Amino acid sequence: EVLADTLYRTRANIALCKELGIKLSGPKLGRRPKHVDAKQRKLDTDAENRRGAIERKFAFLKGSLGLDLVNTRTAESLVVEVDSAIVLANLMLLLGIFSIPISVITHRAGKTYQINYKVITERPKSAA
């Protein structure tokens, strides 16, 4: 199933998904019908809610983790920046679920790097 925004629900994309046997959820093209079956309305609402949850995750990656600031020149560096943001988002999710510190250790070019993540439950008092 593909949860596509209305921008991507073109005749060509609908035909391609139908040809490949992929369910493309979302509103139909053209004018909205006056009367919609209650069951179909429920299915459409559920699909829109699932798509909204995915969009919220992307908004979190962009706003909180700086993914909107990505300014790279090559495809390889773009993949690295996006991947690191997704890893960080998953680490933050794990920290919130388990409330235990997480340590990441990596070796590169003969050097060892260690990053420690921990849950902060209290905000430090400002000095001002």
Question: Does residue 50 fall inside a structural domain?
Answer: yes
Prediction pTM value: 0.55
| Residue 8 belongs to some domain of the structure | yes
Give the list of residues 6+ apart from residue 60 with CB closer than 8 angstroms, or none: 89
How far, CA to CA in Å, does 71 sit from each of 56, 83, 97, 122? 22, 14, 32, 34
Answer yes or no: are the C-beta atoms of 88 and 65 closer than 8 Å: yes
Does residue 128 fall inside a structural domain? no
In a domain, 101, yes or no: no
Domain-located, residue 27: yes
From first to last of its 128 residues, the chain has per-residue pLDDT tens of 888 888 888 899 999 999 999 988 877 788 887 888 888 888 888 888 888 888 888 888 788 777 777 777 788 877 888 888 888 888 777 777 777 777 878 887 888 888 787 766 666 666 55
Q: Kindly write down the DSSP assignment for every residue of 16-49, as one continuous string.
A: HHHHHT--EESPPSSSPPSS--HHHHHHHHHHHH
Domain with 25 in it? 1-63
Sign, CA torsion 57/58/62/66? positive
Asked, for residue 99, whether it belongs to a domain, the answer is no
In a domain? residue 5: yes
pLDDT of residue 78: 78
109 in any annotated domain: no
Would you state the pLDDT for residue 126? 64
User: How many domains in the chain?
Assistant: 1
